[in-house]
Chains A and B, each alone.
Chain A
């Protein structure tokens, strides 16, 4: 048993002072990130719980209200996010192999996908605003867009729709910021990412989580089956 733990220090540029060796540091960051993602799961989980309850209460009205959502745009956005998740996975793989060009290319595609997602989302939102489908006093003032749903329950649906997709979009925006920062580090050939794949991996984990939320949001918001 080594009496002096300093001896085990390796000459590693990215090792922080509180850690003994790079394995401990890497493990710590991965576990820390997963712990954070668990909090995110609970964060969105509460929203999904509210959604489940209200949808079971107002099935028919929610079905009618959801018909205003554009499945094609939703599916397109799903594909965009799945691709971005794939490119992030490739970027992490390339970071492990220290292939800088591939990392940059894949992070670039991911950021592009994130922007495409947001643009499509913006189109969807603006359509809802035009049709007065945003919660508030004027909700449902264009009745033909309610498809016969009870205006109150439809407003509940759109409240959750804007709440959940809005928070998801917020996560996408944060993701764009983080990915851009990572891109910048790789572009400048910083030791912190070039010598250590963990920063790339952590950003990747976050981005996959954003994708996960959408994987559930898409069928729940856009793809309601017709109640009997």
Chain B
């Protein structure tokens, strides 16, 4: 298909924006291979490296491969390769702030530094009893109790 006669306009302004058909096919195949690699890697339990547990490495590998796939799609399929500097800045800024948001996890990491009662995670709890009367489903129930309707204003 790449060798079909080019139409009259293909040598115009946008000619430089086009990827060869072969490259597109190559990217697709590469993406497929990477997908196969992820599936394979998920069945292998990787060994721990020093203090880093194997499961973390496994996850890093999975996310790493996904990131490579995403980068391929962004760079070639989405045409960032040809995009203006401005568009590239936006692509980078987006992921940078996303990375920043993961700073939220810092809270959960550092909570363990100082144990405070009630802060522990992974505590098995007693099956859903809570102090407040639970309204479920919340919508459509009468909103007030007789006390509220009579009023308990302390005059």
Interface residues of A (CB under 8 A from B): 27, 30-31, 34-35, 37-38, 41-42, 45-46, 49, 52-53, 56-59, 71, 75, 78-79, 82-83, 85-86, 88-90, 92-93, 96-99, 150, 197, 201, 204-205, 208-209, 211-212, 215-216, 218-220, 223-228
Contact = CB atoms under 8 A, between A and B. Distances in A.
B21 A90 contact: yes
B19 A93 contact: yes
29 contacts: A31-B84, A31-B86, A31-B87, A38-B90, A41-B95, A42-B97, A45-B98, A71-B39, A75-B35, A79-B35, A82-B35, A83-B28, A96-B10, A98-B10, A204-B77, A205-B78, A205-B79, A208-B78, A215-B73, A216-B63, A216-B66, A218-B38, A219-B63, A220-B62, A223-B39, A224-B42, A225-B42, A225-B45, A228-B54
Interface size class of B (residues with CB under 8 A): 35 or more
B70 A223 contact: no
A45 B17 contact: no
Contacts of A216: 63, 66, 70
A-B CB proximity, top 5 nearest:
A38-B94, A223-B42, A225-B58, A45-B98, A86-B28
A201 B21 contact: no
B72 to A, nearest CB: 9
A225 B121 CA distance: 22
A41 B14 contact: no
Given A49-B102, A197-B14, A79 B91 contact: no
A212 B74 contact: yes
A31 to B, nearest CB: 5
A3 B139 CA distance: 63
Contacts of B32: 79, 82
A168 to B, nearest CB: 14
A49 B78 contact: no
B101 interface: yes
Interface in B79-94: 79, 83-84, 86-87, 90-91, 93-94
B122 interface: yes
Contacts of B41: 223, 225
A226 B42 CA distance: 8
Contact of B101 (A46, A92, A215): A46
Contacts of B87: 30-31, 34
A219 B78 CA distance: 22
Given A93-B18, A93-B21, A98 B70 contact: no
Interface string B17-47: 1110100110110011001001101111110
Given A35-B90, A225-B44, A228-B45, 5 more contacts: A38-B94, A85-B28, A98-B10, A209-B78, A220-B63
